[in-house]
Every structure is written in C-alpha cells, then in structure tokens.
Chains A and B, each alone.
Chain A
C-alpha cells in the first residue's frame, strides 16, 4: 500500500513532456534525417514554441 502522494506522482511522471519529446524524436528520426539532408532544416511544434533543428551543411 502506498500513499496517495506516490500514486499521484507516479501518474504525473509516467507520461511527462520530457519522455514524450524523446518518443517523438525517436519516431521522427527518419523524417528528421531526411529533412536535414534535403532542406537543411526540421521543425516541430511543442507547447513552448517551435523547435527548429538546422544543419549547416546539407548532405548530397
């Protein structure tokens, strides 16, 4: 038996933004690589703003 505070914190931290961000990056890794190679930039939206990943040199 655990306290309510532990159940609540488990529920909150199980699906936090940090892990969702990593999941999204992992899922999009193919797209990110492709976009960076073609246009040199990849954007994705988060609640805090748009993350912009830029590659200085485009690959052939």
Chain B
C-alpha cells in the first residue's frame, strides 16, 4: 500500500510535471544524446517541480486563500498534522488501521482534499513556470547577449538544446529580424542542391536524419563541366535548374556537406535599404526594389567537379 501511494505521489509531484514541462515548455528540439536512466528522470522531474512546489508551499502557508481554497477542510493546522500522522500510522500498521477505522477514513478524506488543493496550486505555478520558459526561449535571439540570461536560464534549460535547431532555424536571431535559412547541399554523389529549409528531422541520437527543402534547385554541374571542356565561357549562375514539386526531402546520409546561409526576408531587406537610404539624405524620390533571384553568389559555386566534391 505504501509503495502504491509513493508511486502515485512520485507520479503527481515529479513525473507528470516533468512530462508536461517537456511537452509544453520547449519550442525547440531537445536532445538527449544518451538514453536517460530512472535516476536522471527523477532528478530532472525534481528540477522542474522544485520551484512550483516551493512557491505553492510558501503561498499556502503565508496566505489564507491558497491554503484553504479549493477543496476547503474546516480544521486548524494542528488537526491537519494530526490527520497526516493518523494516515501514515495506518499505512505502516494494519492493526492501527483496524483499531482506528473511522478516524483513519476521516483523516484520509481530509488529507486527500489537502493534497488536491496543494496539487491544484502547484500545477498553476507549473503553468506559470512553463509560460516563463516559453517566453525566455522564444526571445533567445534578443536575450542571449545578457550574461545573467546565459548563466541562469541558459545553463539550466538550454544545455540540452540541439545544435541543429540553432543551425537550421532562425533560433539564434532576434524575433523581429529572423532570417530565412538557405542551404546549398552537396550530396555524396556530387549533386548540388539549393533551397530554403522548411523543416529538419533528427534521429534518436540527436543527429540529423534529413532536411525538407522548399524553393529548391539543382545545379547542373555536369553540363557546366562539359561546357567548360568544350572551351565555352559559361556563366555558372545559368546552370541552376528548378526541380518540379513543392517539397524536397534530402536524407542526411546522402549529404556530404552543407553551406548554410541566413538570408534576410526580401521585404525586410528592401525596408533596411530604404531606411539606410533615408539616412543618406538623398531626398524623398528614392525607390528601392529587388529584382530576380540569383541562386547563389559566384563565389559559392563550384568551379570544377573536383572542387565541388571537396
């Protein structure tokens, strides 16, 4: 009976808060490189629950309302402790339970309501904790310059964040200027693809399993090589070919290397240039536009097959 009760309390006070926290608080991919043991799970759960627990205990003892509502029990503190003593004694000793059957059931009823009330406020505090963590993670790009943030929130909560989240999303940049993530992916069979990252997938060990690209193109490297050999003077920018389709999945095992770029969204780039032009005081008659799209700078492009393969 004691084991059953201990398991229920462990579940309600440690595992369920940790589960809710893990599901709701992290809007980035959390990675555990190795499978966690039971002990680590308990430590992690205690870490999550400790603040809501302490806050609830403090508020319940200091203020009447959280200490009595919801599930009110009309008794003073001494009677409450007596109820807990009765329940613990009955759990330890069956003869005690049999001898004080009515008193034990009454005490169990009071303790049950007391625990429900405590858990109610603790889960409210947990919800506040989750909201705080979500906000502090959401504004990582703006807050990460502060030493206090790095040493407190960063060390406690972001230690297990996946580096792929930082590399393949705009996570590291301030919210107001989040860039698009563009990649040039060279595959192990010497194909070069370019596109913007729509999503990425991780294996259970935290390593990349694949990339989902949008606006993707393939570089016709072979044609470029052939034209070069034929003595032509080809412009590499003309060798990008659109691939029909809306989603392009690239398995990680096919990727030899990735060139990752963080591109400012087109409208934002135009706005930046407009603002900069205003600062030059050239009058009101300046217009800024963005024409075409160069798939990549010349410098990003491979100039020969050997170079492309490296």
Spell out A's residues near B (CB within 8 Å): 2-6, 8-9, 12-13, 16-18, 21-22, 25, 29, 32-33, 36, 45-57
Contact = CB atoms under 8 A, between A and B. Distances in A.
A53 B292 contact: no
A2 B290 CA distance: 40
Contact of B172 (A4, A12, A47, A49): A12
Interface stretch (B1-9, B42-50, B126-134, B260-268): B260-268
B182 interface: yes
B39 interface: no
B113 interface: no
A25 B287 contact: no
Contacts of B155: 3
A12 B166 contact: yes
23 contacts: A3-B154, A4-B163, A5-B154, A5-B163, A6-B144, A12-B166, A12-B167, A16-B173, A16-B262, A21-B264, A21-B269, A46-B269, A47-B182, A51-B290, A53-B273, A53-B287, A53-B288, A54-B287, A54-B288, A54-B289, A55-B283, A55-B285, A56-B286
B264 A32 contact: no
A38 to B, nearest CB: 13
Contact of A22 (B159, B161, B272): B272
Contacts of B270: 51
B282 interface: yes
Nearest to B284: A56
Interface string B274-310: 0011001011011111111110110010000000000
Contacts of A18: 177, 179, 264, 272
Greatest chain A CB density within 10 A among B166, B182, B266 is at: B166
B217 to A, nearest CB: 13
Bin chain B's interface residue count: 35 or more
A49 B282 contact: no
A7 B287 CA distance: 39
B166 A49 contact: no
Contacts of B273: 21, 25, 51, 53
Given A17-B261, A33-B282, A47 B159 contact: no
A48 B293 contact: yes
Given A52-B290, A54-B286, A56-B287, A9 B261 contact: no
Contacts of B177: 18
Contacts of B296: 47
Contacts of A5: 154, 158-159, 161, 163, 166
Nearest to B260: A12
Contacts of B214: none
Given A47-B294, A49-B266, A2 B154 contact: yes
Contacts of A45: 294, 297
A25 B286 CA distance: 15
B218 interface: no
